[in-house]
A and B are shown apart, each in its own frame.
Chain A
Amino acid sequence: MKRITTLAAASATVVLALSACSSGEAVDIGASSSSSAEAGDTTLVAAIAGEPDQLDPHVTSAYFSFEVLENVYDTLVEPDENLEMQPALAESWEISEDQLLWTFHLREGVTFHDGSELTADDVVYSYDRIIDEALTPSWRFAAITEVTAVDDLTVEIEVSAPTPNLLALIGGYKGMAIVEESNVESGEITTNPIGTGPFEVAEYTSGDHITLNANEDYWGGEPSVDSVEFRFISEGSTAITALQNGEIDWTDSVPVQQVSTLLEDDSIEMTVAPSTDYWYLTLNQDREPWDDVLVRQAIAYAIDRDAILEATTYGTGVLNQLAIPEQSGFFTEYDTYSYDPDKAQELFDEAGFTGATLDFLATSDYPETVTTAQILADQLEPYGIDVEIRTLDFATWLEEEGSGNFDMFMLSWLGNLDPDDYYYAQHHSEGSYNFQGYSNAEVDALLEAGRTETDTETRKEIYAEAATMIADDVSYLYLYNPAVIQAWSPELTGVTARADGAIRFRDAEIAG
C-alpha cells in the first residue's frame, strides 16, 4: 500500500510524514479492554488532516480513509506494534509441506456490525471481489491461485509458489478487510461500511466528520470509549489550537515547524516516532547523462543530506542510506555516501561530465520536494549542474512521473512491511513503479528469489545484497525516514504512535 498517503494526502502535504496512530496493545485476542460500564458518554474527538474519499476498503487508496477504516474493519491477521503479524480474524494457521497451501482457522463467534455471523464464505467473497474486479489491492494476490472455504471456520489459500510474505500481504493494511456481501451489493459500503471491527460507523457528515460507535460485541473486547468522532482539519495550526482549546482529543495534523515548541507544552502529549516510510531522490536513467552510474554516484556525494533533513523535517526525521529503517529486522548496515565535494568532483571528472541542465519535478502538494529542490540547486551549481525546478500540483506531477518526463524527482513510499514492499516495484526491471528506468539483471534475480525464499535468514541475506546493489547503483538516492508525529490531550491514554501509521483507538481511554 505504498504511496497511499501520497495520493491521499494530496491536500495535506505534511500529513505524509505524520502517519499516525494509536492503540498500543496490538493484537489483543480476546484481551479484556476495560469495559465502559460507567454512565456518561465518552467521545474521543480525533482530528485527521483530510477527508476520506470513500469508505470502501477495497477501492479507496486514501490514507485518510484507512485512518478511519482501521477501526471499523478486521483482516485475517494484523501487524502488532513491532509490525510482526498476529492473529486477528484468523486464530491460527498452518502451511503445507510444499509451502503451497495455507490453511486459516477463523475465530468463532465473530459478528458483523449488523449482527450477522462471520464465516469462511465472507473471506472467500472478500478476496474474490478484490481479484475478480481488479480492485486496488489486487496486486497483493498475484501469487494466489485460489481461495476456498473448507467449512464455516476454515479457509484455504493456494499459492503458485512459496510466498513467505503472505501474512504481510493479507494483513498489512485494511485494504484487505473482510467485508460483507450484502453491504457491497447495496452499495452502502462507500458511506456506511459494515465490518467486524471495534467500532461501527454511526454518522457521516460530508466535509465535517465521521462518528464511530463502540462495538459492544467486538471479539477483542468492547472498546473503552463509547464513540470516536473523526474531524477533518487540514490546516495544522487550526488543529493544534483546537487541541489546546480542548475541542479535540487527538490529532496527527501537526505542522513540523511547531514540533519543538509543542514538545515543551505541558498541556499536550506528543510523540515523534520513527516510521517505516522513506523519502528518496531518483534520476531518470533513460536520459543522458544520468544513465551513467558515475554521474549518479557523484551526485550522491555532492548532496548534503543533513541540510535537507533539517530544512524539510526540522530535525524530526532520521537519515537513511537504504530504504528499510534501523528498527526493522531487515535493516542492513550501509553508509557509502556522505557529503564529500572532492569525491563528487573526482567522479564527475572520471565520467567526463562537464555540466548539464537538470529538470527537477517538484510538487507544491509536498513542500519538502520544493525545499529539497532549492537546496539541490544550490549544492549542484558548483559542478555545472543547472537545476531547473518545475513545481506542479500532485495530479499533474503523477502524470509527468508516469510518462518519464523528468530528470530527477523526490517522493516517498509508506506503509511498508515486508522487504518486497520496499524494493520490487521500485527496482525490478519490470517493476510497476520503476519510473527511473533502473535495470540490473542481478538485482532482478535477487528480488525474484526474495519473493519465494522461505528461510528468513536467507531472505535477509538476499535483500541485504539487493539493497546494497541498488544503492551502489544509485537507483534511488535515499534521504531519510520521516517521523510519525501525533499530539493528544493528557486525558487520553492507550494510544501509541505506530511505525506503520495505523490509527487504532480500540484501547483508548479518556480520564474524567
Chain B
Amino acid sequence: MGTVLTHPTTRFLVRRLLHSAVVLLGVAIVVFSLLQLVPGDPVRIALGTRYTEESYEALRAASGLDRPLIVQFLSYLGSALTGDLGVSFRSGQPVTQLLGERLPATMSLALVGILIGLVIAVVAGIWAALHEGRPSDAVVRVGSQFGVSIPDFWMGLLLITVFAATLGVLPSSGYVPIGEDPGEWLRHVILPASAVGLVAGAIMTRYVRSAVLDVVAMPFVRTARSKGLAPHIVTFRHIVRNALIPVLTIAGIQFATILGGVIVVEVVFAWPGLGSLVYNSVETRDYPLIQGAVLLIAVIFLVVNLLVDVLYAAIDPRIRLS
C-alpha cells in the first residue's frame, strides 16, 4: 500500500487529479459568473410569447432562478459533485442525459477527425522534412498553409458540394450510431470528420515537419548514420520516434480543440453532437445545459492532457512523470 502511494506514477496521478479538480472548480465559477453577465432572460425565452405573470413566476421559481446567486451556485456545485448537473430549462430533461446522448456523436467525429489529421500530418510532415528544400517540400508547405487558412465549415460545405451534391456518393447529413450499423456510421462520419481532419491535419503537418527537422539535426542521428545503420532504420527508429513527442502534444491539443469547437461543422452537417447542443443552448440561455456542457468539455480536455503526459513517458523513458 505504502509503496503504491509513493510510487512516482501514483504520486503524479494523484497530484494531477487534485490539480484537475481545482481547474474544474475554476471553470464552474467562471462559467457561472459569465452567464450572470449575459443579457437575455432564460425564463422569458423559455416561455415564448404571451405568457402570463403567474406562469413567468412559476417557471422562475421552478428553475430556482429566484434564489440568491450564491445559493444557486452552491447548490449547483453540490449536485454536480454527486453527478447531477440539473435539468435543462427548455426540455426539462436531465442535463447528464442530454450530454450523454450527444457525447458519442461528437467523440466519433473528433476521433475520426484527429485520425485523418494525424495520418495526413505524419505522412506529409515526414515526407516534407526528409525532402527539405526540394519541390515536394514546397508543395507540402503551400498545401498546409492553404489548409490552415480554410475555415472548417467552409471545408464542410465544399465537401458536401463535391461528395454529396455532385458525386452523390456520401450523405450530406445525419448520424448513425456505430453500434447500430458500423458501415453507415462510417459513411456518415467521413465527410464531417474530413472537414475537421483536413484542417487539423494541415496545422499538425507543420509541427511534424519542424519536429522531424529538429531531430535530424541532433548528434545522435549523425551517430546512428555513422554507425552504418540502414537509412529506413535511422528514419523510423531514431528520427520519427523522437519527433513524435512534440507531435503528441499538438495532437492532444488539436483533439481537445475539435471536441470543444466543432460547433459550426456540427451545424453544417446536422450532426447531433455537443457542438450543436451548446449552440442551441446558448441561443436559448439554457444555463444548466451550457454549464454542464462546458464542464464536460473541460473534463475531456483534462483527461486528454493527462493521457498525453502518460504517453510521453511510455514513448520516451527519459521523461519522468513529475
Contacts and interface: CB of A to CB of B under 8 A. Distances in A.
Interface of A: 1-4, 6-8, 10-11, 47, 50-51, 53-54, 60-62, 133-139, 187, 190-191, 205-209, 231-235, 237-239, 241-242, 244-245, 247, 365, 392-396, 398-400, 402, 425, 432-433
Contacts of A237: 157, 160
Given A206-B272, A208-B174, A233-B270, A11 B280 contact: yes
Interface stretch (B88-96, B141-149, B237-245): B88-96
A100 B55 CA distance: 27
Contacts of B101: 205-207
B233 to A, nearest CB: 48
Nearest to A63: B48
B173 A231 contact: yes
For the complex of A and B, list the 3 residue pairs with the smallest distance between their C-beta atoms, beginning with the closest: A61-B48, A207-B272, A395-B40
B102 interface: yes
Nearest to B42: A395
B173 A233 contact: yes
Given A11-B279, A53-B91, A395-B283, A136 B55 contact: yes
B164 A241 contact: yes
Given A47-B173, A136-B47, A235-B267, 20 more contacts: A51-B280, A53-B91, A54-B90, A62-B48, A190-B91, A207-B102, A207-B272, A208-B272, A235-B268, A235-B269, A238-B172, A238-B173, A241-B160, A241-B164, A242-B164, A245-B172, A395-B42, A395-B45, A395-B285, A402-B44
27 contacts: A1-B50, A7-B45, A7-B48, A11-B283, A53-B90, A53-B91, A134-B54, A136-B55, A137-B50, A139-B52, A190-B93, A209-B174, A231-B270, A235-B270, A238-B268, A238-B269, A239-B173, A241-B172, A245-B164, A245-B171, A247-B171, A393-B40, A399-B39, A399-B40, A400-B39, A432-B50, A433-B50
A54 B283 contact: no
B49 A3 contact: yes
B283 A398 contact: no
Contacts of B285: 395
Contacts of A61: 47-49
A62 B45 CA distance: 10
Interface of B: 38-42, 44-52, 54-55, 58, 90-93, 98, 101-102, 105, 157, 160-161, 164-165, 168, 171-175, 267-273, 276-277, 279-280, 283-285
A206 B102 contact: yes
Contacts of A244: 165
Given A205-B272, A235-B270, A10 B93 contact: no
B173 A242 contact: yes
B272 A365 contact: no
Contacts of A190: 91-93
Contacts, number: 155
Nearest to A400: B39
B157 A247 contact: no
Contacts of A239: 173, 270
* Residue in A10, A365, A433 whose Cβ sees the most chain B Cβ within 10 Å: A10
Contacts of B51: 134, 136, 138-139
A136 B164 CA distance: 41
Contacts of A205: 101, 272
A483 to B, nearest CB: 23
A398 B41 CA distance: 8
A137 B161 CA distance: 43
Contacts of B90: 53-54
B175 A208 contact: yes
A209 B175 CA distance: 10
A8 B284 CA distance: 9
B240 to A, nearest CB: 39
B235 to A, nearest CB: 43
Contacts of B157: 237
Nearest to B286: A53
Contacts of B45: 7, 10, 395, 398
A234 B268 CA distance: 8
Contacts of B283: 10-11, 365, 393-395
A244 B171 CA distance: 11
A208 B54 CA distance: 34
A365 B279 CA distance: 12
Give the residue among B40, B172, B279 with the most A Cβ atoms within 10 A. B172
A126 B48 CA distance: 20
Contacts of A234: 267, 270
B88 to A, nearest CB: 9
A9 to B, nearest CB: 10
Contacts of A209: 174
A207 B109 CA distance: 15
A135 B55 contact: yes
A10 to B, nearest CB: 4
Most buried by A among B49, B157, B161, B284: B49
Contacts of B165: 241, 244-245
B322 to A, nearest CB: 42
Nearest to B274: A207
B49 A7 contact: yes
A141 to B, nearest CB: 10
A51 B90 CA distance: 12
